Amino acid sequence: MEYTQVNGYLIPNLTLSEQPAQPIGKYGEIRREFLRENTPVTFDLMLMEGTLYPHLLEVDKSARKQINQTMQQLIRQTPMPNRKTDPLGWAQQMNLLKAQAEEMVMPMLYAL
């Protein structure tokens, strides 16, 4: 590690590595807030090591994949209203299924 001397003190030259411009998504943001609020030491350590952003991308990707798989299973198991004759009923049922799938993923986002 390199240091710079300022007024008789050695200050480490800390820089963050370049992060890709890819957004971390809804579930990555939830995970980031959880880490920041509940494990600030881990959050800061991951941030300084440059592992936070890749971790959040992976969590978001895994959560989306699990939600999509769960949604497909729930759609197969649940009788759905006809989308053409009852679009509001269909949308309501899809929103309900998505909420159920997200509830199944939340424990993964809040795990230490």
Give backbone dihedrals phi and psi of 51, rounded to 5 degrees, phi first.
Answer: -100, -5
Break the chain into its structural domains and give their ranges.
25-109
What's the distance, Cα to Cα, between the start and end of the chain in Å? 29
Is the full-model pTM beyond 0.85?
no
- pLDDT at residue 96, rounded to an integer: 96
Supply the Cα-derived Rg of the chain in whole angstroms.
21
Model pLDDT for residues 39-90, shown as the tens digit of each residue: 999 999 998 888 999 999 999 999 999 999 999 999 999 999 999 999 999 9
State the SS3 of 46-109: HHHHCCHHHHHHHHHHHHHHHHHHHHHHHHHHCCCCCCCCCHHHHHHHHHHHHHHHHHHHHHHH
The answer to whether 47 touches 81, Cβ cutoff 8 Å, is no
**CB distance 95 to 74 below 8 Å:** no
pLDDT value of residue 84: 95
